[in-house]
C-alpha cells in the first residue's frame, strides 16, 4: 500500500480537487451536447448508448465522491438513471457534484490517508481515488465525444479548439495566440 503522511494527503486533495472541478466544466459541455432525440445512439451493439454512457460518467463521479467521503465504496451496481432527459441529468450532476466535492474538501488529513477498500481490488488511501475519478471521467468523456458527430451534434472544445468550437469564439489563430 502507498504510504502518505497527512500533509501529503491534504496537499494532494487540495491540488486534485480544483483540477477535477475544472474538468467538470468540459464534462458538462460534452454531456450537454448529447441530443435527447438521438441519445439511444451506439456505435456498435457492444457499446453503451450515449445516454447510458453519459449516465455512467455522472453516476461514477458521484459514487467516487461518496466512497472517498464515506471511507467505503458501496455496491458495484450502478444506480439507475432517475432522469428522462440530458437536461435532467445535468441538473442532478450540478447539484450532486458540488455536494460530493464539498464533502471531500471537508475531510481531515487522517481521513484522507485512511485506506479504503475498492471492491477487493485496491486498498489505497482515500485521497488516491481522486485520481481514479478524474481518469475515469476523462476516458469515458472521450468516448462520448466520439459519438457526438454521428448523432448530429457538435463537438465542444475540451483541451483546445474542436472542429466545431473555438476556445474563445474567435478564429483558430486567435485562440492559439491566446493560449500561448
**Who's near 38: CB < 8 A, 6+ residues apart?**
50, 151, 152, 153
Instruction: Give domain status of residue 106, yes or no.
Output: yes
Q: Which CATH number is 57's domain given?
A: 1.20.120.450
Range of the domain at 56: 6-179
| Angle in degrees, CA 103, 107, 109, rounded to 5 | 160
Neighbouring CB atoms inside 10 A of 62's CB total 18
pTM, rounded to two decimals:
0.89
Chain-centroid distance, C-alpha 146: 16
pLDDT bin (cut points 50, 70, 90) of residue 177 is very low
The structural domain count of the chain equals 1
End-to-end CA gap in the chain = 40
Q: Is the pLDDT of residue 14 over 90?
A: yes
Length of the chain (residues): 180
Instruction: Give domain status of residue 1, yes or no.
Output: no
pLDDT tens, 18-47?
999 999 999 999 999 999 999 999 999 999
Q: Which residue has the cell 471492491?
A: 119
Q: Determine the Cα–Cα distance for residues 174 and 180; give it in Å rounded to an integer.
A: 10
Q: Which helix (H) or strand (E) holds 7?
A: helix 6-32
Amino acid at each position: 500500500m502507498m504510504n502518505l503522511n497527512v500533509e501529503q494527503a491534504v496537499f494532494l486533495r487540495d491540488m486534485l480537487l480544483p483540477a477535477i472541478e475544472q474538468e467538470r466544466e468540459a464534462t458538462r459541455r460534452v454531456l450537454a451536447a448529447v441530443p435527447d432525440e438521438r441519445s439511444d445512439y451506439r456505435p456498435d451493439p457492444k457499446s453503451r448508448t450515449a445516454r447510458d454512457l453519459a449516465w455512467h460518467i455522472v453516476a461514477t463521479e458521484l459514487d467516487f465522491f461518496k466512497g472517498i467521503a464515506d471511507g467505503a465504496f458501496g455496491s458495484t451496481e450502478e444506480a439507475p438513471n432517475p432522469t428522462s432527459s440530458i437536461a435532467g441529468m445535468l441538473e442532478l450532476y450540478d447539484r450532486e457534484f458540488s455536494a460530493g466535492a464539498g464533502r471531500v474538501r471537508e475531510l481531515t488529513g487522517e481521513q484522507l490517508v485512511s485506506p479504503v477498500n475498492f471492491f477487493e481490488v485496491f486498498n489505497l488511501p482515500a485521497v488516491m481515488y481522486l485520481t481514479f475519478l478524474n481518469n475515469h471521467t476523462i476516458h469515458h468523456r472521450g468516448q462520448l465525444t466520439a459519438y457526438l458527430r454521428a448523432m448530429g451534434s457538435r463537438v465542444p472544445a475540451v483541451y483546445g479548439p474542436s472542429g466545431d468550437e473555438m476556445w474563445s469564439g474567435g478564429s483558430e489563430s486567435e485562440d492559439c495566440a491566446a493560449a500561448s
